[in-house]
Amino acid sequence: MDAETRDRTLAAGLRERGIETVVVAGADTNGLLRGKRIPLDHLERAIRDGVRMCEVVWLMDVVEEALVPRPDGHEGYFPSERGGFGDLLLRPETETLRIVPWHDRTALVLADFAQLDGRPVPIAPRTVLAGVVERARALGFEPACALELEFHLLRETRDTLRGKGAAELELPARHPTTYGVHGAALAEPVVGPIRDAMRAYGLPLGPCNPESAPGQFEINLRHDAAVSAADHAVLFKTGVKELVAPQGLTATFMAKPHPDWAGNSCHVHMSLSRDGANAFHAAGEPDGMSRVMRHFAGGVLTTMAELTALSAPTINSYKRLQPYSWAATTATWAIENRTVGLRAICEGDATRLEQRQGGGDANPYLVTAAVLAGGLHGIEHGIEPPPCTESDVYALAPGAVPALPASLAEATDRLAESAVARRHLGDDFVEHFVATRRHELAAAARAVTDWEVARYLEAL
């Protein structure tokens, strides 16, 4: 079947199912979907020619209050006012097309970003991840991963969103019910429909449980090829927000929405396969871990600090990265130890590594790319990991094990200097992402917080 016939058949199948509108969208730097709704009659042309959209989306900050300035001296791809903010193209990836159960007669297809001459947009997160996957394939490996996402459900009130009081939570349980069956049952009128809708959406859901803050939940996504797994996570995050909004709720994946609550994570489980077999598992090796797995772990640990900004991309991210937060604060590893930065899970054909640094605020494409790039660096250079840390890492004395960056400023500087990031993710992307993070830092430096007002307004 030629491409034209295939696209016509695809559109006809959607028409038979009553679809009238197709959302064509791709993820921006912050992992937010940007795109357009097109009539179904335009789908064939969109697949053939792309959908035009202004490239200014790459310069808007997360709240669209300001534009990120172009890095000084950088001559690569980076939109700017002097360029007039021209168009780019959204090129639909038809294998991602799915019907959106909670919208009327609507389907969605994810798209890659391209320049008008057809070249990829090198700062687009999905393109960046796909490039790292191609590097893995050149080494003979196929990466697979699964993302664990946590979120809070809140009533849509200003006080709640500013972090003032759990009394505004929608869910009947007013206290944490970690893994609690009774607490989960009370939340089921809200969380059950989310799971049902996501399954109907075609997302591969795994286990679901309440987490350790009021109104906090974890819903896991099953493993898949790396780009598809990140696609699923982006669709899941957007879908949860859309599903609960009609109920007057806000779903937030913010890393630390309240100082007294547990933060939201995006743990990344990753493995490599070679010739259809799990390349991390070796039955004759200690703990069943292959040399490939050890070198992958060594690379992740070696690069974890310089790639931290991709796992913890906001000012708020670092409020989560605290002792006994169950988040990674050190470049350490061990088997089945949740206080380390990289947890090894040795389960035969399901042997894998879990990077625990990523927050719910991370872009799924970029946190996945960071883990994979670090691991490939370890394989290419035969990097042996340090000995496993068998104890409670949070209880160790400062300096006993390598600490990870404790602020966005530190993490951004490390990323800017990272040769590994530039090699695997590209100079254009690194320059762009560093510029966006420095823009966030500048915005934070100008802000006057509630804490400052409460502390100083009357005292001084």
22-52 per-position pLDDT tens digit: 999 999 999 999 999 999 999 999 999 999 9
Per-residue confidence band for 157, with pLDDT thresholds at 50, 70 and 90? low
pLDDT-based confidence at residue 93 (cuts at 50, 70, 90): very high
Confirm whether 396 is domain-assigned. Answer: yes
| CATH label of the domain that carries residue 140 | 3.30.590.10
Measured between alpha carbons, how far is 241 from 147 in angstroms, rounded to an integer?
Answer: 18
- Do the Cβ atoms of 34 and 53 come closer than 8 Å? yes
10 Å CB burial of residue 125 (0-12, 13-18, 19+) is: buried
Tally of domains within the chain? 2
Q: What is the pLDDT of residue 81?
A: 67
pLDDT of 163: 44
Q: What is the mean pLDDT of residues 212-218?
A: 86
Q: Quick check: helix, strand or coil at residue 102?
A: coil
Residue 372 tokens, joined: 């994979």
Residues 57, 450: Cα–Cα separation, whole Å: 30
Tell me: do 98 and 154 sit in the same domain.
no
Indicate if the pLDDT at residue 286 is higher than 80.
yes
Residue type (1 letter), 241? K
Question: pLDDT tens, 51-78?
Answer: 999 999 999 999 998 888 877 777 788 8
- The arithmetic mean of pLDDT across residues 161-173, rounded, is 43
Same domain membership, residue 167 and residue 211: yes
The residue behind tokens 């391209």 is 114
Is the Cβ–Cβ distance between 158 and 253 less than 8 Å? no
Q: What angle do CA 129, 132, 135 make, to 5 degrees?
A: 155
Per-residue pLDDT, 74:
74
Higher pLDDT, 426 or 183: 426
Pick the last residue of a domain from 121, 156, 173. 121
In the prediction, which pLDDT does 226 show?
98
90 falls within a domain: yes
Question: Strand 142-155 and strand 266-274: pairing?
Answer: antiparallel
Rg (CA), the chain: 22
Residue 169, pLDDT > 60, answer no
Domain final residue, candidates 86, 121, 156 = 121
Distance CA 415, CA 306 (A): 5
Pair 81, 139 in one domain = no
Cα separation, 381 vs 426, whole angstroms: 19
> Closest Cα to residue 270, out of 362, 359, 371?
371
Pairing between strand 106-114 and 21-27?
parallel
Judgement on whether residues 307 and 330 belong to the same structural domain of the protein: yes
Contact 230, 126 (CB under 8 A): yes
Please write the tens of the pLDDT for every residue from 172-208.
445 667 787 877 788 888 899 999 999 999 999 999 9
Compute the average pLDDT of residues 129-133: 98
With 50 as the cut, is the pLDDT of residue 161 above it?
no
Task: Quote the CA–CA distance of 128 and 123 in Å, as a whole number.
Answer: 7
Residue reference for tokens 């609507």: 106
Does any domain span residue 296? yes
Question: In this predicted structure, which of 72-81, 270-279, 402-411, 422-431 has the lowest mean pLDDT?
Answer: 72-81
Q: pLDDT at position 92, please?
A: 97
- Using 50, 70 and 90 to split pLDDT, how confident is the model at 238? very high
Mean pLDDT of the chain: 92
What was the pLDDT predicted at 167?
37
Together in a domain, 146 and 243: yes
In this prediction, residue 173 carries a pLDDT of 44
> How sure is the predictor about 3, in pLDDT bands with cuts at 50, 70 and 90?
confident
| Among the listed residues 77, 116, 67, the one whose alpha carbon sits nearest the alpha carbon of residue 426 | 77
Q: 360 has which bridge partners?
A: none
Domain span holding position 325? 132-451
Residues 117 and 139 occupy one common structural domain: no
State the average pLDDT over residues 215-222: 92
Give pLDDT, residue 72.
Answer: 74
Residues 402 and 256 in one domain: yes
Mean pLDDT of 296-322: 97
Whole-model pTM: value is 0.94
CB of 70 closer than 8 Å to CB of 83: no
Please choose, from the candidates 36, 37, 38, 82, the residue with its C-alpha nearest in 3D space to the C-alpha of residue 59: 82
The CATH number that applies at residue 97 is 3.10.20.70
**Does residue 460 sit within a domain?**
no
Closest CA to 363 of 250, 231, 270: 231
Q: Residue 126: inside a domain, yes or no?
A: no
3-class DSSP string for 247-290: HCEEEECCCCCCCCCCCCEEEEEEEEEECCEECCECCCCHHHEC
Residue 127: inside a domain:
no
Q: Mind giving me the DSSP string for 144-207?
A: EEEEEEEEEEEES-HHHHTT--GGG-SSS--S--TT-HHHHHHHHHHHHHHHHHHHHTT--EEE
Does 117 lie in the same domain as 136?
A: no
* Domain shared by 74 and 138, yes or no: no
For residue 262, the one-letter residue type is: A
CA distances 392 to 179, 303, 397, Å, are 22, 22, 11
> 316 vs 307, 367, 407, CA distance in Å?
17, 16, 9
Beta-carbon neighbour count of residue 459 at 10 Å? 6
Q: pLDDT at residue 162 above 70?
A: no
CA 230 and chain centroid, separation = 7
In this structure, the answer to whether residues 287 and 155 fall within a common structural domain is: yes
Residue 458 lies in a domain: no
Would you place residue 166 in the very low, low, confident or very high pLDDT band (cuts 50, 70, 90)? very low
Q: Between vectors from CA 316 to CA 168 and to CA 441, what angle results, nearest 5°?
A: 135
Q: For residue 136, give the nearest of 226, 233, 230 by alpha carbon.
A: 226
Per mean pLDDT, which range of 7-21, 163-177, 233-247 is the poorest?
163-177
Of the residues 121, 144, 166, which one is the last residue of a structural domain?
Answer: 121
> In the predicted model, is pLDDT for residue 160 greater than 60?
no
Task: Determine the pLDDT at residue 6.
Answer: 80
Coil, helix or strand for 110? Answer: strand
pLDDT band per the 50, 70, 90 thresholds, residue 303: very high
Question: Are 87 and 215 in a shared domain?
Answer: no
Minimum mean pLDDT among 184-193, 358-367, 416-425: which range?
Answer: 184-193
pLDDT the model gives residue 66: 86
Strands annotated E in 259-377: 266-274, 277-278, 333-335, 342-345, 352-355
pLDDT digits 0-9 by tens, 326-351: 899 999 999 999 999 999 999 999 99
**pLDDT for the residue 175:** 61
Whether residue 33 contacts residue 25, with contact meaning beta carbons closer than 8 Å, is answered with yes
Residues 113 and 136 in one domain: no
- 456 is a domain residue: no
